[in-house]
């Protein structure tokens, strides 16, 4: 990932203003430590902090068309850039960067080209011929982007809030799948898939279609000129990413440069479920596995830094971001700059444990749609900013546009959890990769129960966070929370603790409005809390809050790691279903 900052229509275009833009862009340098670039045109500034993944030698930004009348600063990866270049034969390309194609597509097609891009991206493009500009963000919001407005009428765009919050009167999260046009005066949606309407689909389940489109999604994301790896927790999603990547690595261009030995990474407290499961999968696949450890105190010491980088006070995001933040630092120290990760599968297939209580397929499907639409505020934000804090790029094949189209067109009756039919959560995905002749994973791993990242690194991690918050937030403080924080009022001491840290870094009301709120159980939306009356009494984002579903639910067992025997029983049962 890179960092971008664009300021358009400043009243002040003095040297002091240029210095200020450079200073603000420097706040994003953790995202792109490899090079910095700045293009100034009259009262417009486009800045870039580069993390070089594709074409490290010549792909510095901003990027231009042939006569440099079109300037673009991009954060992202365009996986189909070679195919797009084939249709731009009359254009001259200056670099091998996958992002240069954006300037030429605009030159050829005007503003209506964004849907041609297959990738993750946020960009700002300036057309100096008429001083118009556009900004756009990828379909799901994998890549972060914020938009702000200055008192002088200027419009600002930045990869992270910290680069514009001090200088903008108002700002907000740039919505995924949208484009901002100075010519047309505002935001409009460019991404309009069928599933967005939330109407219940009726396409029969085709396991080969699911498998093939996912394999294609992983193969696309092997596009790299630098060392890479896979984040492997040992759960279904990360294990499938690793398995598919390994199958196709040898034939990829990446293997020509870095060899066909796949590196995998896992983090956890000593003895945690993820470390054990990750090692088991790595041994089965034969990867070069890196097992990283942290202590509860390591995590607590990092909380302030995590909140500064991830820019949220959402409890579940901070719980999961902290181990990912620590892991990314160690990954970068090993010389790795890009990782594949398993985000998005639970939203698409209803993998969270609370989906067991979905009353019917209509509500099941509508909840998956709501979850995907909100990903940019939760898991995408976590995966991107936790890794980018240390100059590492995370790619998420489950959020491939084509794969989402296939998966979200399936009749949700197939996704429903049906123990009577042997279907646990994400059965349609598990079944698609259940290949007897050439297995992707062992059966008991393929049918292992969902474990949220913040739980899987070790149950005592969450318990330790709660204990720490209890020491710093008194009963009186929590009682008066609605007066101190009238917007998105924290309802637990842990939430109050995170909120105070967030407010220290981002004190403006616009900043706190970028973070979603509302009741949640086991990562549900507020609407899904209505599925079970008991949940309203146990509002916690941990998977253990899914009472009666999780094999280590809070009410059943509170020991540090109660699961090995229970998990084995579950694996045995689910293996018997297939």
Would the annotation count 342 as a binding residue? yes
Cis ω on the peptide bond leading into residue 62 (within 30° of 0)? yes
Phi/psi-derived region of residue 422, left when phi > 0, alpha when psi is between -120 and 50, beta in every other case = left
Q: Please state, in angstroms and rounded to a whole number, the distance separating the CA atoms of residues 399 and 155.
A: 29
Transcribe 482-495 into DSSP letters. HHH--SS---SHHH
SS3 assignment for 232-281: CCCCHHHHHHHHHHHHHHCCCHHHHHHCCCCEEEEEECCCCHHHHHHHHH
Is 267 assigned to a binding site? Answer: yes
Q: Is 231 annotated as a binding residue?
A: yes
The catalytic position among 2, 10, 44, 173 is 2
Is position 266 annotated as part of the catalytic site? Answer: no
CB-neighbour burial class of residue 295 (10 A; exposed 0-12, middle 13-18, buried 19+):
middle
Alpha-carbon distances, residue 303 vs 131, 200, 240, 296, 498 (angstroms): 43, 41, 30, 11, 8
Dihedral angle at the C-alpha atoms of 46, 52, 55, 59, nearest 10 degrees? 20
Nearest to 167 by CA among 37, 342, 5: 5
Residue 290 in 3-state DSSP? Answer: strand
Of the candidates 471, 510, 515, which has an alpha carbon nearest to the alpha carbon of residue 490? Answer: 515
Q: CA 529 to CA 452: how far, in whole Å? A: 18
Q: State yes or no: 328 annotated in a binding site.
A: no
Instruction: Please return the burial class of 539, using the count of CB atoms within 10 Å of its CB with bins 0-12, 13-18 and 19+.
Output: middle
* CA dihedral (21, 24, 28, 34) positive or negative: positive
Instruction: Report residue 396 as tokens.
Output: 């998420």
- The CA distance from 248 to 440, in Å, is 12
- Give start and end residues of each alpha helix (H) in 343-423: 345-349, 361-373, 379-388, 401-408
Q: Produce one character per residue of 350-387: b if its CB has 16 or more CB atoms within 10 Å, e if not.
A: bbbbbbbbbeebebbbbbbbbbbbbbbbbbbbbbbbbb
Is residue 126 part of an annotated ligand binding site?
no
> Which residue's entry shows tokens 């086991």?
522
φ and ψ at 86, to 5 degrees?
Answer: -60, -30
Both tokens of 395, joined, read 């790619």
Which two tokens mark 240? Answer: 């499938």
Q: Which residues touch 540 (CB under 8 Å, ≥6 apart)?
A: 521, 522, 554
Please tell me the distance from the alpha carbon of residue 178 to that of residue 523, in angstroms, as a whole number: 26
Annotated binding residues: 98, 231, 267, 341-342
As annotated, the active-site residues are 2
Annotated binding residues for L-glutamine: 98
Annotated binding residues for ATP: 231, 267, 341-342
């Amino acid at each position: 990932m890179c960092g971008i900052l664009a300021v358009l229509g400043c009243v002040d275009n003095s040297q002091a203003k240029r210095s200020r833009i450079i200073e603000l862009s420097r706040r994003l340098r953790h995202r792109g430590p490899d090079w910095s670039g700045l293009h100034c045109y009259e009262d417009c500034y486009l800045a870039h902090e580069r993390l070089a993944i594709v074409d490290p030698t010549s792909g510095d930004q901003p990027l231009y068309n042939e006569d440099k009348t079109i300037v673009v600063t991009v954060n992202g990866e365009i996986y189909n850039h070679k195919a797009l270049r084939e249709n731009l034969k009359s254009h001259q390309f200056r670099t091998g960067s996958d992002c240069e194609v954006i300037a030429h597509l605009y030159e050829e097609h005007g503003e209506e080209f964004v849907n041609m891009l297959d990738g993750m991206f946020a960009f700002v493009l300036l057309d100096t011929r008429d001083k118009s500009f556009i900004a756009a963000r990828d379909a799901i919001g994998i890549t972060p982007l914020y938009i702000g407005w200055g008192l002088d009428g200027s419009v600002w765009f930045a990869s992270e809030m910290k680069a514009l919050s001090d200088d903008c009167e108002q700002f907000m999260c740039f919505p995924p799948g949208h484009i901002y046009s100075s010519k047309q005066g505002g935001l409009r949606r460019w991404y309009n898939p069928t599933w967005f309407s939330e109407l219940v689909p009726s396409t029969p389940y085709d396991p080969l279609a699911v498998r093939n489109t996912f394999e294609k999604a992983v193969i696309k994301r092997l596009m790299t000129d630098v060392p890479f790896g896979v984040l492997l927790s040992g759960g279904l999603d990360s294990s499938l990413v690793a398995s598919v990547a390994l199958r196709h690595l040898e034939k990829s261009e990446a293997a020509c440069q870095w060899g066909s030995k796949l590196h995998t990474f896992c983090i956890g407290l000593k003895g945690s479920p993820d470390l054990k499961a990750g090692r088991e999968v790595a041994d089965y696949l034969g990867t070069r596995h890196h097992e990283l450890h942290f202590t509860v105190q390591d995590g607590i010491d990092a909380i302030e830094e995590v909140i500064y980088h991830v820019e949220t006070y959402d409890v579940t995001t901070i719980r999961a971001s902290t181990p990912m933040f620590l892991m990314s630092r160690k990954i970068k120290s090993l010389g790795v700059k890009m990782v594949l990760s398993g985000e998005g599968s639970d939203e698409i297939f209803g993998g969270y444990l609370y989906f067991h209580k979905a009353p019917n397929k209509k509500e099941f499907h509508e909840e998956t749609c709501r979850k995907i639409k909100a990903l940019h505020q939760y898991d995408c934000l976590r995966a991107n900013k936790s890794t980018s804090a240390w100059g590492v790029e995370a790619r998420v094949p489950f959020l491939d546009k084509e794969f989402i189209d296939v998966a979200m067109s399936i009749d949700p009756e197939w996704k429903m959890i049906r123990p009577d039919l042997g279907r646990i959560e994400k059965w349609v995905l598990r079944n698609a990769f259940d290949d007897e002749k050439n297995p992707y994973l062992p059966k008991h791993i393929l049918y292992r129960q969902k474990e949220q990242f913040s739980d899987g690194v070790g149950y005592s991690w969450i318990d330790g966070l709660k204990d720490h918050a209890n020491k710093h937030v008194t009963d009186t403080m929590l009682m008066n929370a609605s007066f101190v924080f009238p917007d998105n009022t924290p309802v637990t001491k842990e939430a109050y603790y995170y909120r105070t840290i967030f407010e220290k870094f981002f004190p403006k009301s616009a900043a706190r409005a970028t973070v979603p709120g509302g009741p949640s159980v086991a990562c549900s939306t507020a609407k899904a809390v209505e599925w079970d009356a008991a949940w309203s009494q146990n509002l916690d984002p941990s998977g253990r809050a899914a009472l009666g579903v999780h094999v280590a639910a809070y009410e059943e067992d509170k020991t540090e790691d109660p699961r090995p025997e229970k998990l084995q029983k579950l694996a045995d049962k689910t293996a018997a279903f297939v």
